[in-house]
Structure 1
Amino acid sequence: MDRKTYTAELAALRELRAGITAAEKAVAAAQKELDKLAAQRARRVAGLAGYEGAQAPAIAKASGLSVGDVVRIAPLLDPTPAAVRAAEADDRADAAPAPLPVAEPAPVAEPAVAVAPALTRPAAVPEQPVPAVPVPAVEVPAAAEDQVVVEQPAPAAAAPVVPAASAATVAAAPRPVDEARPRELPTLPEGPAGARFEAVTTGLVSKRPNFTQQARSTVFLDAATGELAVRDRVVRLDLGARTPGDILDAVLATAPGTERIYITAGAPWHDGAERYSTLKDAVAAWLNTPSERWTTAVGSGRDKLAGHFVHQRQPVGRYAPSAAPDSGSTEIRSMGEWFDPDGADVTTCRQAFTLLWQALRRHWDDAVLMGSPSQTGRDLWSRTIPTTGKWAGGYPVLSEDLRALLHATGGQGRTELVLPPRVPAQLPALVEYDRTFAYAKHLWKSPVGTPRRITARAFAAMTEQEQTKALMSCSHWNIRVTVPQGWQHVGLLPAPVTGDRAWIYPSEPGATFTTWAGGAEVHLALANHIAPWRIEVLGGLLWEDGKPLDEWGKRLKAAWADLTNLSRMHGEERQRQAAYLASRAVRSVLLFGLGGFAQRPRLVSGTTPVGEALPAGVEILGQDGQVVTWQRQAGFSRDPYAHPEWAAYVWSGARAALLDMKYRQGKEVIGHAGALHARPGTVVYFGTDGIALTERQPWPYRGEPGDYLLKGHLTGPVEHPAGQEQYLKLRGLGRAELAELAVAGKGADQ
């Protein structure tokens, strides 16, 4: 550059500076005007709230705000049912408590509580409660592989559950010193109001289907390499920009008629994720990428529900040709719904699906692999509903009030990181045990029919033998718990708290809290071999013992065993890997199928063309030039397969087995495993179906469902993990170290 050019560029830069200054002033003036208009809009929204018939969705559409923004300006317009707001886990401090109807007073003669008998007599320890502030362990979210995910879940929220206005309603534990606060759980009301909790939904039963599912044409695509496994061949595709439209065009040009595409690697829905504030926003934007040839597949009905399911890592996109949207749809799904491919190529993934189908067909003549493990599990279960006997007509679905109570009071897997000083700050080792196919061990008995409400008075009137039988039956109890003096081990029962953690497990001697727990957990607290806890029964629900999941579980266990054996014994490496992945898919069918029975209130998302009326009660998530994307809480549907009592009972049994699991030979107990059989101060972590300790345990492994498998061993000293992310890193190192030791040992044997 010469001097003349340099001088000219400086002059141009000055002109540009002047232009920028003018633009900044214009922006400032526009922002001032925008703030003025926004304030006017807020005042008008607040004013509209004074109209008795005002509705947040209509005001949101007129104002261009989301329903959430409207509700923040005018809380009176919140469309969420009052009882749902009252039971939300986050318990916002600025939300006014929803008014709840008061149940009829309990009879004067009704005792407030009935103390359950200690079912064992270990060394005596004082049980008098001593005022103390419980210091709960820090509970952290489960790792991805530990999560139970239903296909379209919303955060659990209680439907109308009326608290009893009697002495049985007890304050929760004193507020812990951390950010979590006690959360009051609903209770069973007395009098006629309680009848709703001893009822089933009229005309709604789980019946055996009278049709056969139709298989869908499925292909497997590696979005990173473009490799597509279709039937018995593999082809390489040009996926262009990897948008949904590009993928659909490329796949259907090669495999016309494809109805389902599983992405085995590459995760195209994460492309450009750095441009969005959350991963979920990035996935939603990818699913809704505009296309001239493809549109969102919509269902029938007045709401035109969108076919997409937005999930950070396992989204589902459903698309139809724009020119003929009624001609059929094609799904784009993640292989991770079924199993972690862990580097497996598309041929191996396809072979795993083939082996899975073959294994299931040996136990179900009409087995069909549906889009997700949850759908597949529920469909397979429905084909085990008995055709003779008491339940030949189907299993009744509980009343909506009772289902809401179970959702609000029955947690899932236990996830807890135990912090110093309860464990050493320097761990001598980190040893991981994982329960093999854990939930399969707890399907042999489940609650059926209409439950019987047990009051404190009724429980107190029982003999000790009757009380023990009730606790060991399919039951769910509202209890006040006191940790015994001298207790030095982990907590046994969940206590409800607000915030990201829904449950903690107090273990400080003298800590008292009110909660709900399944019969298996309550029985363990009373009958454990260390010291009985003090349990005061405030009320409960007692079902008939049945076997609605037993046949389903037996068939899935048999399919899992077949595939597990094949993965160990087949002579060809690809087949061994495919069989292993297929066995993991069977686990997902059971895990997510069970979660599907919980049927929590769902968030339904949808799209509506710009200019058309939006469905009632929606929250606007976003808008482009063509469609408005929205979501709303769908609540409880009349789902004939909604059985949260089954999921809650199995989860309770699994939580109890993390503490104490019996090894049996026939009916004889030949051994024990679980956290309570490790030394106090050695348990570091609970993770749904596994635990981590500071030392190895002499627990036998037989390869059967529920057995504790040594999964990782990290040699110490190890700095105690301060949180979930650090623990997962250490867990990965421990698994790698154990694998290296196994390889070295195998080499030495050879």
Structure 2
Amino acid sequence: MSMDGPTYTAKLKELRELRKQIAAKEKEEAAAQKRVDAAAAARDELARQRNRIVCDIEGYGKANGETVAKAAGIRPAELAQIAPRLDTTPTDVREARDGVEAPQPTAVREVAEQPTVSESTSALSKAPSAQAPAAEPSDASAELSSHASHEAIDVAEQNAPDPTTVVPAPAQPSKQEAAARVLPSIPEGPEGARFLELAPGLKSTRRRFKQKTREMVFLNTNTGDLVARVNRADKHVRLDLGDRSPGAILDAVLSVAPDTQRIYVTAGNPWHRDEHRYNTLTDAVLAWLSIPSPRWSTDTGQGRDRLAGHFLRARTPVGRFMRADSNDHVEIRSLREWLDQEEDDPALGRDALRALWRALSEHWPDEVVLMGSPGQTGRDLWTRTVPTTGQWAGGYPVMSPELRGLIHATAGQGRVELFAPPGLTQAPELVEYDRTFAYARHTWKSPVGEPRRMTGAAFGALSDSDKKKALFACSHWHVRATVPRGWDHIGLLPAPAPGDRDWHYPAGAGAVFETWASGPEVYGAVTNHLQPWKIEILDGLVWQEGKPLDDWSKKLQAAWAGLKSRADLHGDPRERAVAYLASRAVRAILLQGIGSFASRPGMVTGTARVGEHLPDGVEIIGEHRGVITWQRRTEATDERNSHPEWPMYVWGGARYALLDTNMKGDKVHVGALYVPRDALVAARTDALTLTMDPRWPYHGKPGEYRKKGHLIGPVPWPTTEAELLKLQGEGRAALRTAQAGGAT
């Protein structure tokens, strides 16, 4: 295009005018953005004040969630995220709501393929390959940076591409990111200091009274076979259970054993009898518990029993009933809580609990009472191990409600995940490896007392050796993690997923996410032998190390070892079966006992006829044919024994052990990171399902991987939990058959 001199001059003048206008608009935009930022900061501060008030209100036992939500100007679902105790949404409504509103995207950002800002950290050298014994990892500090280190980036490195660099978050998060669950953090200033304080006057002390025993019977609802103790003699009868409704079962059992207070259903699952008519098992259980009876109604506790009402659980519900014409209060429970399986012979179930009681009594003489659940029993036994001498003779202090709430929100439990590599629809075989008595491996030390806060800046100021010590201490860390480019294995750290307390494990190369994780997990992510992850410490909590669970755990391990030896060596097949089931019950006591330290208020459900007295504080969730269904949030379990920091540390250690366990005696590492990515089918808390047999060494010690199932294929690759459980059952049966036949 040709242009003469005057036109050129005119165009330059026009450009200068536009430049001035653009500059003016940029100033206007900057000023407007400044006002927007200031308004957003003010709004966020007001929201934090609102959330603090909501959390304070949560401690008031009579607080009404709907009233609080309306006063705060937020939806009930948002209120439940801030203060879970105020969520009174019915279970079925909550499930339906979460299914509609829960967003699918995660809180993970994919790193753009572009030059990025490098942090001033050095790279780790790789350890030996998975086929060789792994050497001791190098210092974690080599790949750890503090939050403050971002402010001191070496200018000379700014243009150097780094495949493990954290990319700054975009100025405006996407809708997917905005919808993802965001974990809480420790506030700054005086409020943050209040988080770290101990709860005044609350300590876990030694229990000296003996629990009250309950008369219990064992019932197979498929056959009607009942085993009970009547007039100091064992009685085995077959009952007519009619329609197997709660009322029919209670009438039949008490006609034979009138002093019964607890019925253990060993097989039959009567609460699932009409499951085909309902969308979920929970709905079927609720319908079964709500079947009206002319003589029985939901136990209201007569104003004294805080746990009155039914526990609405899909597979192990608890029904609590009372008879109007007497003082009979009877529970119907599943023996699966103890044995993790059904048992057709109720006498075998009874003998297993007797063997359990005898094994425990060797370590707790004259103190053992088997309560309704393994968790209740475990915590009761633990209170009898609180020391009477030494530093904690007065009892173990309880942390502030704020910090306990933070741990509840930021510490997930066991890892449950299905792996489905693209393009694979069949597996050549399925091999299940299970960590024996896994949690017992992680109870030898636990966090105690008042924690010390370690900010990112404080962590960054530590020496390399002190950084390593901090991570190996009883600690909990708020981090920003980056999955390195080129990563082609499963995720290493739990991250918040959309939904109520859901977790996932980001593994996409270049993904960046914030989360909380235990010290072993953080250290393992940095030093894993495949490819170190970059971890930025944002904040952390470090406790004094103690042994509050050690004595309790050692006694349970001794009881378990004795029963396991009997199960392996006894000459009578029935005695071997009894000992095996009793050993499973010891495992349940430890597993659920640990979890009970993190227990929170739950929901109980009940029914009543129209016009009958309802317990205080209930919410009516339905009425059908003159029967009202109600629910009520229970109060928190005794706060004196509230220690979520203990299961937090056990769960974190167990999650990392699922990835990497050091078999020091065999000089080899085992776990998910020591098999190819495509060989992983599933992880389930303390077990891995693989498409190959790595033949890991096993010596029968807690925490070691034991081959539990082997199914020769090809078999369809499981894509749902139900499919996996079905194939696992087949694999375990096949392995038992092969072992019985002498096959390897």
Please state which band the TM-score falls in when normalised by the shorter chain. Answer: 0.7 to 0.9
1:655-683 alpha-carbon deviations (Å, 9 max, x no partner):
00011111234xxx733211112234322
Q: Which residue is 1:739 aligned to? A: 736
| 2:631 is the counterpart of 1:621 | no
How far is 1:175 from its partner? 8.0
Letter in 2 for 1:481: A
Structure 1 counterpart of 2:541, which letter? L
Structure 1's 661 and 470: CA in aligned 2 closer, same or farther, altered over 3 A? Answer: same
Deviation, 1:294, is 2.5
Q: Structure 2 counterpart of 1:84, which letter?
A: Q
- Counterpart in 1 of 2:222? 224
SS in 2 for 1:363: coil
Q: Tell me whether 1:128 sits opposite 2:126 in the alignment.
A: no
More helix by share: 2
Q: Secondary structure at the match of 1:536?
A: strand
Partner of 1:723: 720
- Deviation of residue 744 (structure 1)? 2.8
Q: Does the 8 Å contact 2:475/2:541 carry over to 1?
A: yes
| CA–CA distance in structure 2, aligned partners of residues 95 and 272 of structure 1 | 29
| Structure 1, 592-601 or 230-239: larger mean CA deviation | 230-239
C-alpha displacement of 1:129: 3.9
CA distance in 2, matches of 1:243, 1:428: 45
State the AA in 2 paired with 1:194: G
The separation in 1 between residues aligned to 2:612 and 2:235, in whole angstroms, is 46
Q: Secondary structure at the match of 2:454?
A: strand
> Against the structure 1 CA distance between its residues 450 and 71, is the aligned structure 2 distance closer, same or farther, given a 3 Å change threshold?
closer
Q: Please report the TM-score for the alignment, with normalisation by the length of structure 1.
A: 0.76
**Offset of 1:725 from its aligned partner?**
2.6
* Cα distance in 1, alignment partners of residues 330 and 632 from structure 2: 25
Residues 155-170 of structure 1 mapped to structure 2, 5 A cutoff: none
1:190 to 181, 188, 191: 188
SS class of match (2:452): strand
Letter in 2 for 1:530: L
Q: Distance in 2 between matches of 1:172 and 1:675?
A: 37
Letter in 2 for 1:259: Q
Cα 1:490–1:478 change in 2 (3 A) is: same
Give the aligned partner of residue 84 of structure 1.
81
Structure 2 matches for 1:581-592, cutoff 5 A? 581-592=581-592
Q: Does the 8 Å contact 1:374/1:593 carry over to 2? A: yes
The equivalent position to 1:210 in structure 2, one of 200, 208, 211, is: 208
| Pair 1:702-2:699 in alignment | yes
Q: Structure 1 residue 309 and structure 2 residue 307: aligned? A: no
The residue that corresponds to 1:447 in the other structure is 447
Gaps of 5+ in 1: 1-66, 98-112, 133-166
Root-mean-square deviation (CA), in Å? Answer: 3.7
Structure 1's 502 and 276: CA in aligned 2 closer, same or farther, altered over 3 A?
closer
Unaligned 5+ runs, structure 2: 1-63, 88-93, 104-117, 129-141, 144-160
Paired residues of 2:166 and 2:482 also in contact (CA < 8 A):
no
Q: Which amino acid aligns with 1:244?
A: P
- In structure 2, the residue corresponding to 1:188 is in which secondary structure? coil
The amino acid of 2:354's aligned partner reads T
Deviations 1:131-153 (A, max 9, x none): 99xxxxxxxxxxxxxxxxxxxxx
More moved, 436-445 vs 479-488: 479-488
SS at match of 2:711: strand
Which SS does the other structure have where 1:333 is aligned? strand
What letter corresponds to residue 381 of structure 1 in structure 2? W
Equivalent AA in structure 2 for residue 221 of structure 1: L
Matches within 5 A, 1:417-496: 417-421=418-422, 424-496=424-496
Local SS of the residue matching 2:664 = strand
CA shift at 1:173, angstroms?
A: 9.8
The residue that corresponds to 1:385 in the other structure is 386
Mapping for residues 93-132 of structure 1, pairs under 5 Å: 122=127, 128-129=163-164
Distance 1:297 1:172, change over 3 A: farther
Within the candidate set 239, 248, 251, 1:249 is matched to 251
> Do 1:127 and 1:534's aligned partners in 2 also have CA atoms closer than 8 Å?
no
Amino acid of the structure 1 residue aligned with 2:401: E
Q: Is the 8 A contact 1:172 1:514 kept in 2?
A: no
2:679 matched to which residue of 1?
682
In structure 2, C-alpha distance between the alignment counterparts of 1:447 and 1:654, rounded to whole Å: 16
Please name the residue that 1:320 is paired with. Answer: 322
Instruction: Trace 1:177-576 onto structure 2 (pairs within 5 A).
Output: 182-231=180-229, 232-299=234-301, 301=303, 306-324=308-326, 327-365=327-365, 366-421=367-422, 424-499=424-499, 502-576=502-576
Q: Distance in 2 between matches of 1:83 and 1:284?
A: 23
Distance 1:616 1:393, change over 3 A: same
Give, in angstroms, the shift of residue 427 of structure 1: 2.8
Shift of residue 170, structure 1, vs aligned partner: 10
Q: Matched residue of 1:548: which SS?
A: coil
Distance 1:387 1:510 in 2: 52
Deviations 1:401-430 (A, max 9, x none): 111111111111111112223x84443332
Deviations 1:519-567 (A, max 9, x none): 1101111222223211100001111111111111111111111111111
- 1:652 and 2:687 are equivalent in the alignment: no
Q: Secondary structure at the match of 1:186?
A: coil
SS at structure 2 position matched to 1:295: strand
Deviation string 1:274-323 (CA, Å, 9 cap, x unpaired) is 44443323322322332332232222548976332222221212222202
What one-letter code is carried by the residue in structure 2 that aligns with 1:311? R
Contact 1:430–1:734 at 8 Å: present in 2 too?
yes
CA deviations over 1:636-672 (Å, ceiling 9, x no partner): 465221111111110000000011111234xxx7332
What is the TM-score when the length of structure 2 is the normalising length? 0.76
Q: Is the 8 A contact 2:306 2:635 kept in 1?
A: no
**Aligned twin of 2:593:** 593
**Residues 319 and 115 of structure 1, relative CA distance in 2, 3 Å threshold:** farther
Structure 2 CA distance, aligned partners of 1:170 and 1:638? 45
Counterpart-to-counterpart distance in 2, 1:431 and 1:550: 33
Between 1:289-298 and 1:412-421, the stretch displaced more is 289-298
- How has the CA–CA distance of structure 1 residues 461 and 445 changed in structure 2, closer, same or farther, with 3 Å as cutoff? same
2: distance between equivalents of 1:528 and 1:355? 43
Is the 1:440–1:553 Cα contact (8 Å) retained in structure 2? yes
User: 1:116 & 1:635 partners in 2: Cα distance?
Assistant: 48
What is the distance in 1 between the residues matched to 2:162 and 2:576?
55
User: 1:567/1:303 Cα in 2 relative to 1: closer, same or farther (>3 Å)?
Assistant: closer
User: Is the 1:305–1:607 Cα contact (8 Å) retained in structure 2?
Assistant: no
- C-alpha distance in structure 1 between counterparts of 2:436 and 2:482, whole Å: 32
Name the % identity.
Answer: 52
SS of structure 2 residue aligned to 1:716:
strand
Aligned in 2, Cα 1:127/1:255: closer, same or farther, shift over 3 Å?
Answer: farther
Amino acid of the structure 2 residue aligned with 1:307? G
Q: Distance in 2 between matches of 1:77 and 1:175?
A: 19
Describe the shift of the 1:648–1:72 C-alpha distance in structure 2 as closer, same or farther (beyond 3 A): closer
User: Aligned pair in 2 of structure 1 residues 127, 254: CA closer, same or farther (>3 Å)?
Assistant: farther
Q: State the partner residue of 1:107.
A: none
Give, in whole Å, the separation in 1 of the partners of 2:311 and 2:690. Answer: 38
> Where in structure 2 are the equivalents of 1:665-680 lying within 5 Å?
665=665, 670-680=667-677
Distance 1:115 1:323 in 2: 77
The alpha-carbon distance between structure 1 residues 507 and 270, as it changes in their structure 2 partners (threshold 3 A), is closer
Q: Structure 1 490/78 Cα, relative in aligned 2: closer, same or farther at 3 Å?
A: closer
Using the TM superposition, give the Cα deviation of residue 608 of structure 1 relative to its aligned residue in structure 2, in angstroms.
6.3
Deviations 1:559-583 (A, max 9, x none): 1111111112122222111111111
**Separation in 1 of the partners of 2:658 and 2:334?**
31
Structure 2 CA distance for aligned equivalents of residues 173 and 617 of structure 1 = 41
- The alpha-carbon deviation at position 452 of structure 1 amounts to 1.0
Contact 2:600 2:637 in 1 (8 A): no
Residue 494 of structure 1: how far off its partner (Å): 1.2
The alignment covers a number of residue pairs equal to 623
- The alpha-carbon deviation at position 226 of structure 1 amounts to 1.6
Asked if the contact 1:672–1:699 (Cα under 8 Å) also holds between the matched residues in 2, the reply is: no
